[in-house]
Amino acid sequence: MDLTPWEKVKLARMPIRPTGLDYIDYIFDGFMELHGDRLYGEDRAIVGGLAFLNDIPVTVIAQQKGRNTKENIARNFSMPHPEGYRKALRLMKQAEKFARPIICFIDTPGAFCGIGAEERGQGEAIATNLAEMVMLKTPIISIVISEGGSGGALALGVADKVYMLEHAIYSILSPEGFATILYKDSSKAELAASDMKLTAQDLYHHGIIDGIIPEPPGGAHNDHEFVTSQVKELISADIDELLGLSVDDMLERRYQKYRNI
């Protein structure tokens, strides 16, 4: 399916694409959601908890979009507040304590930039996640399933293995924001999408991600079972590989991965 970058942007944003919870339901067994950051409150833009993958206990964290306006309002359109990232980090540290692999599903236009989020330390929360994930002593796999925007996506993206779905996007900000800043005209978003090199194919070519997960004709929403089976097979193989490494070797590989990008 040969699409332009802008067509991929529009496809990645389609509300009928599988969401984080869809992947959790299809891939994992016994998911038990955990709530709150133990500092301020609960953020429904990020879902996280415990589950089993092929009888291996894992921690799963996903940015969650809604299917309609009501659900998107409840999920803040998948734009997390600081407490969402702190909840994610709390679950990651818990996973490290009990030697559980971590699987993250990335799907956000970016971190929420409201006044309250800034007052509660949005930048610090994202930066702390980046610093902590580099040194977590347990395997981490991150998958961009639709839209990966800015630091809001990167806060779950420092992993041993990073993948994107075939028609997902991953960028420093939205094409509209890029066009507004660089071209002083938000209507040039289509041009920006091309210039930003935000597709899975571009990012794989430049060594930013480790692989591309195929989608069925027309996009992931046309065959959930096909896409989720691809994801499950991939992360199952990676977990087996990563669990076979010593902690020191795993951390050194992770360090070298980001040192060389």
Angle of helix 82-97 relative to helix 122-135, nearest 10 degrees, comes to: 20
Q: Hey, what domains does the chain have and what are their CATH numbers?
A: 5-254 (3.90.226.10)
Residue 129's pLDDT is what?
Answer: 98
The tens place of each residue's pLDDT in the chain, 261 residues long, gives 589 999 999 999 999 999 999 999 999 999 999 999 999 999 999 999 999 999 999 999 999 999 999 999 999 999 999 999 999 999 999 999 999 999 999 999 999 999 999 999 999 999 999 999 999 999 999 999 999 999 999 999 999 999 999 999 999 999 999 999 999 998 999 999 999 999 999 999 999 999 999 999 999 999 999 999 999 999 999 999 999 999 999 999 999 999 887
List C-alpha distances in Å: 32 to 73, 80, 81, 98, 258. Answer: 23, 20, 22, 16, 32
Q: Output the six-digit token pair for 67.
A: 């299917």
Residue 2's pLDDT is what?
Answer: 84
* C-alpha gyration radius of the chain: 17
Q: Output the six-digit token pair for 259.
A: 């040192």
- Cα–Cα distance measured from residue 172 to residue 159, given in angstroms and rounded to the nearest whole number: 17
Residue 20's pLDDT is what?
Answer: 97
Residue 1's pLDDT is what?
Answer: 58
